[in-house]
Amino acid sequence: MDDALVAVMKKHWGYGRFLPLQREAMGCVMSGTDSVVVLPTGGGKSLCYQVPALLGTGPAVVVSPLISLMKDQVDGLKERGVPAARLDSSLSEDERRAAYAGLREGTLKLLYVSPERLLMDGFLDHLRRARPAFLAVDEAHCISHWGHDFRPEYRRLGALKEALPGIALHAYTATATPKVREDVAAQLNLASPKMLVGAFDRPNLVYRTARAGRDLYRIQEVLDRHRGESGIVYVIRRADVDSLAFGLAARGYRALPYHAGMPDEERRRNQDRFLKEESAVMVATVAFGMGIDKPNVRFVLHAGMPKSLEHYLQESGRAGRDGLEAECTLFYSGADLLTWKALLKEAEPEAHAAAIEKLNEMGAYCRGTTCRHRALVRYFGQDLEGPECGACDVCLGELEAVEGALETSQKILSCVLRLKERFGADYTAQVLTGSMERRIIANGHQTLSTHGLLARAPKESVRDWIEQLCAQGYLHKHGEYGVLGVTPLGWTVLKGGQTPRLLKPSEPSARRESKAVRAGWEGVDRDLFDKLRALRKRIAAERGFPAYIVFGDETLRDMARKRPATRRAFLRVKGVGETKMAQYGEQFLALIRDHG
Ligand code: ADP
Ligand code: ZN
């Protein structure tokens, strides 16, 4: 069975090996065992059902939530020589008729449908007659209230198992929490499904967090590092989208705005440009991104804090789907928390307490000093091998140890005690830096011996150190207001028995390049790569496709690394299958030959 799967994968996709869990997931499809497959973004979920679909007797039916997503998938499949079609409300009459004909005649291997269409009157009868091989539900977390993208129309998919007796159903999602996973299986009425949960770490993403400040300037720095590449800048509010996009445009950057309050047409146009153009920067609220399958997003910059770690994983995960290095940078500030609190109060009054807790966890991540990769996967119940990830600000040495950490920590801890363990982190930081604010005077705290003890440090740094002490277990927070208390471990610090690690941003010169960046460009002829990119762009423009549908960045880099001279050698380039070879091989080979 493996051989047949690999042969299909090689022929149509040019891949000779499975990604983690792909073999197992395809095995479930081949044996008709219901499954829930949880793999991170870029983990290769679509191949899990696309490859077996080519070996099946009937068409595979794929339920997918977004029309744009379906269109891209179907265009991509056709380019690979896979008979695929979609049915949704945006089709012309001719396209629709062709799809139905393919279904009737049994020529289709994959049929993408929206959930609305699938459950429309009479459609299931059509399907039954076509004897579908299996059903695949993409973005399956949309069925769960616990997920971050609940879609009411997904709920009705629960009826599928009964409507198509005996059919196997496979669900795919990148949402990691166990609760959502269980809910997906239950809501879809899966029969003792196999749960396949992948490792969530994305080693090719370089994670950094930094305190906000001089925002526009620092955003430009990130954009400048990625000239000619694509990326997303996330902000919290719609108004920020407009002002940031405007500010960047005024400085000569091509930034496209996107938020839910814009006219539909403009929004769609911007999304389309983002997908098609190679170097588009999207400035967006979180309304943007669901179903964005663009594989070569090279950076995701959060200019404000996301509202939970789940959201962060999802949003930042849109970078580097192609497995090449990508940058995920997050600028946060205390004000973000307040902005979110205000927004949440309007939007989700019933889930308020849970939402606040998620925000606080997000805040602790931002200020934390443990490896970002580790902190992220731990949140989802996994761990990382080895001591260092080599791909985050902490492990790359971009944060520097504060001198005199013991003494500073002792000052903070004793201030918490002087405040009788009844105040939160913000307030404590104010007292330590000597604030004379009304509330402090009203409480008489300007007379405490610890008032102004750290007056020479910026308040925001003190605030970070408090969070760092919490993360290392020297302080704990409790209650709605996050009141600080000193732990037994904290007491050993007060007695000088242990020294906490306090960090601050280091000088840029002390920084190292991440492993991912080094590996991604190893042996690549950059000049040739640029030429190949230009050729790809020309072909894509002629055909009206996004560039990556012709060849992904990873494939172009491998081409510029291996510099194949013959058709056989060309087939050995990562991501080149027979169909693509036949279609584009000569053009690219000629260019490589010319390059010499
Ligand atoms: P997901 O849907 O899980 O986010 P995709 O199915 O879009 O991931 O795949 C992510 C990328 O990985 C795509 O560019 C895809 O072509 C590539 N890919 C999938 N399977 C393999 C494989 N076995 N070997 C190499 N690359 C693969
Ligand atoms: Zn790390």
* Single-letter code of the amino acid located at 244: L
- 495 CA to centre of ligand 2 in angstroms: 31
The sheet that has 297-302: what strands, in order across it?
205-211, 326-332, 297-302, 230-234, 281-284, 255-258
Residue ending a domain, among 136, 164, 197, is 197
Do 153 and 82 fall within a single domain?
yes
**What pLDDT is recorded for position 596?**
74
Task: Among 8, 21, 47, name the best residue to mutate to test ligand 1's pocket (greatest count of ligand atoms within 8 A of Cβ).
Answer: 47
Measured in whole angstroms, the distance separating CA 249 from the mean position of its chain's CA atoms is: 26
What CATH number should be reported for the domain holding residue 322? Answer: 3.40.50.300
Residue 510 lies in a domain: no
Closest CA to ligand 1's atom 10: 42
Q: What is the DSSP letter of 507?
A: P
- 302 CA to centre of ligand 2 in angstroms: 18
Do 170 and 281 fall within a single domain?
no
Do 144 and 224 fall within a single domain?
no
Residue 444 lies in a domain: yes
**What pLDDT is recorded for position 68?**
77
Ligand nearest to the CA of 374: 2
- E strand segments, 323-365: 326-332
**Residues lining ligand 1, Cβ inside 6 A:** 15, 17-19, 22, 39, 41-47, 293, 295, 321-322, 552
Do 45 and 173 fall within a single domain?
yes
**What pLDDT is recorded for position 168?**
96
Residue 397 lies in a domain: no
Q: Can you tell me whether residue 148 is helix, strand or coil?
A: coil
Do 537 and 487 fall within a single domain?
no
Q: How far apart are CA 54 and CA 72, in angstroms?
A: 18
Cα-flanking dihedrals φ and ψ of residue 46, to 5°? -65, -35
Residue 388 lies in a domain: no
Q: How far apart are CA 405 and CA 499, in angstroms?
A: 7
H/E stretch holding 149:
none
Do 212 and 152 fall within a single domain?
no
- 282 CA to centre of ligand 1 in angstroms: 23
Do 308 and 420 fall within a single domain?
no
Residue 395 lies in a domain: no
**What pLDDT is recorded for position 103?**
87
Identify the bridge partners of residue 163 per DSSP, sorted by sequence position. Answer: none
Do 412 and 305 fall within a single domain?
no
Residue 394 lies in a domain: no
Q: What is the DSSP letter of 261?
A: T
Ligand nearest to the CA of 209: 2
Closest CA to ligand 1's atom 5: 44
**What pLDDT is recorded for position 176?**
65
Q: Domain count for the chain, please give it.
A: 4
Do 345 and 481 fall within a single domain?
no
Measured in whole angstroms, the distance separating CA 555 from the mean position of its chain's CA atoms is: 22
Residue ending a domain, among 161, 178, 197, is 197
What CATH number should be reported for the domain holding residue 565? Answer: 1.10.150.80
Do 542 and 484 fall within a single domain?
no
Do 167 and 236 fall within a single domain?
no
Name the pTM for this structure. 0.77
Low-confidence ranges of the chain (pLDDT < 70): 147-148, 176, 291, 347-351, 506-512
Do 465 and 551 fall within a single domain?
no
Neighbours of ion ligand 2 (CB under 5 A): 371, 373, 389, 392, 395
Cα-flanking dihedrals φ and ψ of residue 427, to 5°? -60, -45
- 28 CA to centre of ligand 1 in angstroms: 18
Residue ending a domain, among 173, 197, 221, is 197
Q: Which one, of 471, 321, 484, lies nearest residue 415 by Cα? A: 484
How many Cβ atoms from other residues are within 10 Å of residue 128's Cβ?
A: 13
Task: Among 321, 324, 548, name the best residue to mutate to test ligand 1's pocket (greatest count of ligand atoms within 8 A of Cβ).
Answer: 321
The whole domain housing 50 covers 2-197
In this structure, the strands spanning 205-211 and 326-332 are parallel
What CATH number should be reported for the domain holding residue 439? Answer: 1.10.10.10
Residue 293 lies in a domain: yes
- 76 CA to centre of ligand 2 in angstroms: 35
**What pLDDT is recorded for position 352?**
75
Ligand nearest to the CA of 373: 2
Residue 234 lies in a domain: yes
Nearest 10 degrees: CA dihedral of 256, 261, 266, 269? 60
